[in-house]
A and B are shown apart, each in its own frame.
Chain A
Amino acid sequence: MKKYHCLPACLFLFFTFFIAYSNSEAALSEADQACLGCHSMEQHKTLGNGEKLSLKINPVEIEHSVHGIIGCSACHGFTANDHPKRTFKSRKEYSALAARRCTTCHAPRDNIIHAKIVGKDPSKTTCIDCHGAHSIRRVSELSKGNQYCLTCHKWEISKRYLDGSKETVQVQESHLKESVHKNLSCVDCHVRVYSELHPVREFKNRRDLSLVLAENCKRCHFDKYTRTLDGMHFKAASEGNTKAPICTDCHGTHAIASAQKDKLANSKKCEQCHSDIYAIYAKSVHGTALIKEHIEDVPICSDCHKAHDNAGPHTTNFRITVPQICAGCHGQKEIMDKYGLSTKVVDTYLQDFHGVTMKFYKQYGQAEKKIAVCIDCHGVHDIMKMKSQNAALIKQNLTKRCQKCHAGATTNFPDSWISHYEPNFQKATLVFLIDWGYRIFIPFMIIGLLVQIVLHLWRYAVNR
């Protein structure tokens, strides 16, 4: 008995499908059946331009179509009994003519993309190009979410701007899937567009469109936006420079990626505009490590210049924060140990003449006064390795840099900076010995004097 348990279920399924099939078959009217009498067969019509137009209709397509119930003549305008004989120049001409019928029921709404697409040149883009002909379905059934937008935007379609330029509005689905925004939908960013209404908006050019669209980023990333207000890019933009970078210039649009993940890709964003500086950086100790050795500990543009609130390196305050910027990495033992670098570089600078001066200038708001900071000796984008380099060359370069402030400095002059080492016996022997000499002599002397004072007081007390 167990063997036949599934039999009723099988029978039920069989009948359900049978009834469904026979019912749909029955949904087609007699008039339509008459049409299909011929048009369900394989046959062609040769058009004026030699194109072959298939006349075969798949009845299933009609049955599943939203228009299944209105019948062939509703769109084609004639029945099997009064079928005119017609000739057409091309397939396009035929579909344009056939599509005119759509507007008798579906008047295109104003200011939506349909009106623009269909209204401008009906012979070029027709309703059926997107919606299909016999297989026509409800738009909402076609797709949901981003797929809905992609029904059009996955194609190689383009938009013409007011200045005459034509740019693609195609969206790569793969980009959306890789993006950090993959869980958002198109309309989250394209705010004035939604499924029911796709307004036609006119822009001077693509840049204009980007400028408007990038405004929408701050709807979520307002913190970043407020930071950009302090940045020089924002300043340039507010002065009317349309080339000044906006969110999407650095972060991308549909392929928007996390800026923190890939430092190299991140730095390349700056290269788009600052290629000359990038070329110098690429040759520096930091640049080569990043580009050739893929070391991510090194600073990229935004590490020093900041990303959103980059106020520009020519501001008075920037110079004075340089030691702090460099110390961000060079003062961290766990990073420096990896590359055999000393973290004393920061302290030795801060305790020396330049460092002390810089500290006071900073503390008392005298940022406009200039004193050597890291970059004045080491360079800016062209920072080089100090170790394993030709010592004579280093000295030669250093002399030139010293001369910028110390007019008339000779080749002896750079030696007056005992580099970033605390004086030791090997390097700066005399300085080391003098320091130690005093370190012993001063307490010796002072303790001696204090002992005498105490003895003197004691003698005085005893004598009384």
Chain B
Amino acid sequence: MMKTKGLEKVRRFGTLRIAEHWLNAGTFILLVITGLSQKYHDYQLSQWLIMTLGGIDTTRIIHRYSGIALAVLTINHILVASYGVIFLKWQPSMVIHLKDFRDAIDNIRYYLGLSDHPARCDRFDYKQKFEYWGVVVGGMLMIATGAMLWFPTLVTRFLPGQFIPIAKAMHTNEALLAFLVIAIWHIYNAIFSPEVIPIDTVIFTGKISRERMMHEHPLEYERIFGPIQPSHELQGEIDNTAEQPTATTIS
């Protein structure tokens, strides 16, 4: 355990959440590779990818089964989160508040030099909430439209035929949007942002340094450790996973 001054760790994510992230990431990558190569089938790279994967049929099979994996992960997440919030009294820390919009504006004002401090965010800042809901809502949209495209005969037994091209239009456009957001926004924030470069380790270790927490999640920090004082000395490791809202300091 690192014991450098100011770098003591606070547990932010449990193992299950980390596993969930990486399963989601893996599925997402597979879906992007097999999906976008179909969307942009005229490009050499796409054709090489499809050929390498064993032809268009295999590519589609991989895409569909990855889709099932994504559906399982997403539905599982929604069920677990709902159960946790309703029965285990987890903090619904991902719920979007009016403050998140204000935070976004405040932060931009700070970037532009119109304000002297960045927005003070809670456990998840507005950027993280944006990504989270993007994945959940976008994921559900992709799962629904993907299933429609997989079973057009079944779908058109109950719905007009035009729902299939509609589903396709949504699926293909939403895919591009999701890919771009992840590739640009998420990768910047997790890898290239000067605050985390070379890489944000939280999603590997599940722990965040108290100093970073103080900067990035001051409201959460204050809820746990009391008001931030510039000379505050940090000690020990804090476990503050979402599942256990009553933060307990361990050793």
| A368 interface residue per 8 A CB criterion | no
Assembly CA distance A415 to B153 (angstroms): 11
Question: 0/1 per residue, B104-119, Cβ < 8 Å to A?
Answer: 0000101111000000
| A53 interface residue per 8 A CB criterion | no
Given A356-B38, A408-B153, A414-B161, A456 and B193 touching (CB < 8 A)? Answer: yes
8 A Cβ contacts from B119-175 to A: 152-154, 156-157, 159-166, 168-170, 173-174
Question: 0/1 per residue, B32-69, Cβ < 8 Å to A?
Answer: 00000010010000010011000111000000000000
Question: 0/1 per residue, A355-397, Cβ < 8 Å to B?
Answer: 0110111011010010000000000000000000000000000
**A359→B41 contact, CB < 8 A:** yes
Assembly CA distance A410 to B157 (angstroms): 6
Question: 0/1 per residue, A437-464, Cβ < 8 Å to B?
Answer: 0110110011001101101111110100
Query: Which residue of the partner chain, among A359, A423, A459, contacts B165 with CB atoms under 8 Å?
Result: A423
Query: Which residue of the partner chain, among A416, A442, A462, contacts B173 with CB atoms under 8 Å?
Result: A442
**A446→B184 contact, CB < 8 A:** yes
Residues on B with beta carbons closer than 8 Å to the beta carbon of A431: 162, 165-166, 168-169
Query: Which residue of the partner chain, among A369, A412, A445, contacts B181 with CB atoms under 8 Å?
Result: A445
**B173→A430 contact, CB < 8 A:** no
| A20 interface residue per 8 A CB criterion | no
**A416→B163 contact, CB < 8 A:** yes
Report the minimum CB–CB distance from B238 to chain A (whole Å): 27
Report the minimum CB–CB distance from B96 to chain A (whole Å): 17
Which of A366, A408, A416, A417 has the most chain B CB within a 10 Å cutoff?
A416
8 A Cβ contacts from A343-365 to B: 356-357, 359-361, 363-364
**B50→A412 contact, CB < 8 A:** no
| B230 interface residue per 8 A CB criterion | no
Given A456-B111, A456-B193, A409 and B153 touching (CB < 8 A)? Answer: yes
| B226 interface residue per 8 A CB criterion | no
Assembly CA distance A407 to B113 (angstroms): 64
Assembly CA distance A143 to B18 (angstroms): 103
Query: Which residue of the partner chain, among B156, B169, B177, B194, contacts A445 with CB atoms under 8 Å?
Result: B177
Query: Which residue of the partner chain, among B57, B152, B153, B165, contacts A418 with CB atoms under 8 Å?
Result: B165
**A412→B157 contact, CB < 8 A:** yes
Assembly CA distance A416 to B168 (angstroms): 10
Assembly CA distance A361 to B108 (angstroms): 51
Question: 0/1 per residue, B79-116, Cβ < 8 Å to A?
Answer: 00000000000000000000000000000101111000
8 A Cβ contacts from A199-224 to B: none
Given A418-B165, A431-B169, A460-B194, A455 and B174 touching (CB < 8 A)? Answer: no
| A406 interface residue per 8 A CB criterion | yes
Question: 0/1 per residue, A316-338, Cβ < 8 Å to B?
Answer: 00000000000000000000000
Query: Which residue of the partner chain, among A410, A423, A442, A455, contacts B108 with CB atoms under 8 Å?
Result: A455
Given A431-B166, A456-B193, A407 and B153 touching (CB < 8 A)? Answer: yes
| B228 interface residue per 8 A CB criterion | no
| B180 interface residue per 8 A CB criterion | yes
**A430→B162 contact, CB < 8 A:** yes
Assembly CA distance A456 to B164 (angstroms): 41
Report the minimum CB–CB distance from A178 to chain B (whole Å): 51
Question: 0/1 per residue, A399-427, Cβ < 8 Å to B?
Answer: 00000001111101111111000010000
Residue in chain A with minimal CB distance to B149: A353
A-B interface pairs (CB < 8 A), number: 113
**B156→A409 contact, CB < 8 A:** yes
Report the minimum CB–CB distance from A188 to chain B (whole Å): 52
| A271 interface residue per 8 A CB criterion | no
Given A415-B156, A442-B180, A434 and B173 touching (CB < 8 A)? Answer: yes
Report the minimum CB–CB distance from A9 to chain B (whole Å): 87
Given A407-B153, A412-B159, A434-B170, A428 and B165 touching (CB < 8 A)? Answer: yes
| B225 interface residue per 8 A CB criterion | no
**B55→A415 contact, CB < 8 A:** no
Residues on A with beta carbons closer than 8 Å to the beta carbon of B38: 356
Assembly CA distance A422 to B7 (angstroms): 58
Assembly CA distance A441 to B170 (angstroms): 12
Given A435-B169, A460-B194, A442 and B162 touching (CB < 8 A)? Answer: no
Given A356-B41, A431-B169, A459-B110, A415 and B184 touching (CB < 8 A)? Answer: no
Residues on B with beta carbons closer than 8 Å to the beta carbon of A455: 108, 111-112
Assembly CA distance A163 to B57 (angstroms): 59
**A428→B162 contact, CB < 8 A:** yes
**B153→A406 contact, CB < 8 A:** yes
Query: Which residue of the partner chain, among A357, A416, A449, contacts B162 with CB atoms under 8 Å?
Result: A416
Given A416-B164, A435-B169, A442-B180, A363 and B111 touching (CB < 8 A)? Answer: no
Where the two chains meet, the residues of A that have a C-beta atom closer than 8 Å to any C-beta of B are 356-357, 359-361, 363-364, 366, 369, 406-410, 412-418, 423, 428, 430-431, 434-435, 438-439, 441-442, 445-446, 449-450, 452-453, 455-460, 462
| 9 cross-chain CB contacts under 8 A | A408-B157, A412-B157, A417-B165, A430-B166, A430-B169, A431-B165, A431-B166, A434-B170, A445-B180
5 extra interface residue pairs, beta carbon distance < 8 Å, beyond A360-B50, A430-B169: A357-B56, A408-B154, A416-B164, A430-B166, A460-B195
The list of the 10 closest CB pairs from A to B, nearest first, reads A415-B161, A416-B164, A438-B173, A360-B56, A455-B111, A412-B156, A416-B161, A434-B169, A459-B111, A413-B156
Where the two chains meet, the residues of B that have a C-beta atom closer than 8 Å to any C-beta of A are 38, 41, 47, 50-51, 55-57, 108, 110-113, 152-154, 156-157, 159-166, 168-170, 173-174, 176-177, 180-181, 184-185, 188, 193-195
